[in-house]
Amino acid sequence: MINLSNRVLSLGESETIAMARRSRELKSKGVDIINLSLGEPDFFTPQAVKDAAKEAIDKNFSFYTNVSGYVELREAICSKLKRDNQLDYTADQIVVSTGAKHSIINVFLTTINPGDEVIIPTPFWVSYKSMVELCGGIPVFVETSIENDFKFTASQIEAAITSKTKALIFSSPCNPTGTVMGHDDLKSIAEMLQKHPSILVISDEIYEYINFEGKHESIAQFPGMIERTVIINGLSKGFAMTGWRVGYIAAPLQIAKACDKIQGQYTSATSSISQKACEMAMKVEPKELSFMTAAFKNRRDVFLRELKKINGLRVNTPGGAFYLFPDVSAFLGKKDADGNVIQSAEDLANYLLDNAHVATVTGKAFGASNCIRLSYAINEDRLIEAANRIKQALEKLN
């Protein structure tokens, strides 16, 4: 018998992927499943980006690249950061990886030692906790609430800081809540962190372009922060390029070099063709992507309108991304038609899949056990149908 490592045995499966698998199994049996479990835009990659990939193939960009990516791509990312975020970086501060998820684990592996604490506001993206633990770190959670649109404050973060605190990680716009941290929110946190100069900030900005509240704000813009902030970004969400697998960091030079070093040992560079496509994407003006943002905002409004018809479901209005994160506490403890008690949000997610044929994800995966995540990255008719199915299924609980 083969004994697996304690590392993998202690690692939980991504619950978003697990729910997607269950959904596919039911769909393969002919069940009409409305899948609200995966965070994947239903738009196609911009034509100019696809054309750049085709040209790269024709021009034989088929060889190994620098571990951190083509210099031309990293320079294009620097230009994008200057154009959109007014941030100054050089190409050697950029490391291109196989998706933003890869970028995040690179940063953790190069900065976290066993016993280091990483502050994670909840709800959080599903993999933050597991990644920290995989590196031997200790996640320290800061709870937020739906009443405050799931925003965290400087005072909350400061209260969680100890002598072992190594980093703070958060996403804005946020997965799973859609929360957008505005200029003043981030400014107050940056000012507080001036008293704690050794703490690294990891700012996950993958949903940058899916922002319904105006200009995206990065914590790196504030005095003293660019020197201690790692920006995580990529192409999957804003450019509808999930399958191309391109993410990147913009970081202090010491961290960028360390990420290049560790990436060189276990994956090397990402696809050369994807890199050339990404290079073109970095030259696309944000206004050319605004049609996707407008569509997501409209879907949010339609879905919210329908979900607010459900008694007991508490839902706020998020400022970005393409998720709703309703509180389902009112339904916990109720019974289904067979007398089974809905004891948790996970039970409720499974109940909705089996009875409403709508795939959701339990909030427990994101550090909020009384919520579920709903992705509205599908067309409006299906969202309306999903809301109706959810309403009917919840009304059968007693």
Tens digit of each residue's pLDDT (9 = 90 or more) over 77-91: 999 999 999 999 999
Q: What is the per-residue pLDDT for 8?
A: 86
Q: What angle do CA 198, 204, 208 make, to 5 degrees?
A: 135
**For the segment 212-239, what is each residue's pLDDT rounded down to a tens digit?**
998 999 999 999 999 999 999 999 999 9
Region 163-179 average pLDDT: 98
What number of other Cβ atoms are within 10 A of residue 282's Cβ?
22
Decide if pLDDT at 124 tops 90: yes
Q: Is the peptide bond before 173 cis (omega within 30 degrees of 0)?
A: yes
The residues near 182 (Cβ < 8 Å, ≥ 6 apart) are: 213, 217
Q: What is the per-residue pLDDT for 11?
A: 82
Question: Does an H or E element contain 286, and which?
Answer: none
Q: Is the peptide bond before 318 cis (omega within 30 degrees of 0)?
A: no
Q: What is the per-residue pLDDT for 129?
A: 96
Pick the range with the lowest mean pLDDT from 11-15, 97-101, 174-178: 11-15
Angstrom distance (rounded) from CA 284 to CA 291:
13
DSSP codes, 135-189:
TT-EEEEEE--GGGTT---HHHHHHH--TTEEEEEEESS-TTT-----HHHHHHH
- For residue 200, the one-letter residue type is L
CA 315 to chain centre: 20
How large a percentage of the chain has pLDDT more than 90?
Answer: 92
Q: What is the per-residue pLDDT for 378?
A: 95
**CA distances in angstroms from 311 to 86, 387, 395, listed in the order given:** 45, 12, 9
Write down the mean pLDDT value for the chain: 96
- For residue 77, the one-letter residue type is I
Region 81-108 average pLDDT: 98
Domains by residue range for the chain, with CATH: 6-44+289-395 (3.90.1150.10), 61-284 (3.40.640.10)
Confidence of residue 20 (pLDDT cuts 50, 70, 90): confident
Angstrom distance (rounded) from CA 314 to CA 330:
9
Region 52-60 average pLDDT: 98
Q: What is the per-residue pLDDT for 316?
A: 97
Confidence of residue 178 (pLDDT cuts 50, 70, 90): very high
- For residue 152, the one-letter residue type is F
The residues near 204 (Cβ < 8 Å, ≥ 6 apart) are: 100, 104, 125, 169, 170, 171, 172, 232
Decide if pLDDT at 36 tops 90: yes
Decide if pLDDT at 249 tops 90: yes
Relative orientation angle of helices 253-266 and 100-111, to the nearest 10 degrees: 110
Decide if pLDDT at 116 tops 80: yes
Decide if pLDDT at 310 tops 80: yes
Angstrom distance (rounded) from CA 369 to CA 41:
26
Angstrom distance (rounded) from CA 235 to CA 192:
31
**For the segment 272-298, what is each residue's pLDDT rounded down to a tens digit?**
999 999 999 999 999 999 999 999 999
Q: What is the per-residue pLDDT for 18?
A: 78
Region 48-60 average pLDDT: 98
Decide if pLDDT at 352 tops 80: yes
Confidence of residue 347 (pLDDT cuts 50, 70, 90): very high
Contact 352, 391 (CB under 8 A): no
Decide if pLDDT at 14 tops 90: no
Region 158-187 average pLDDT: 98
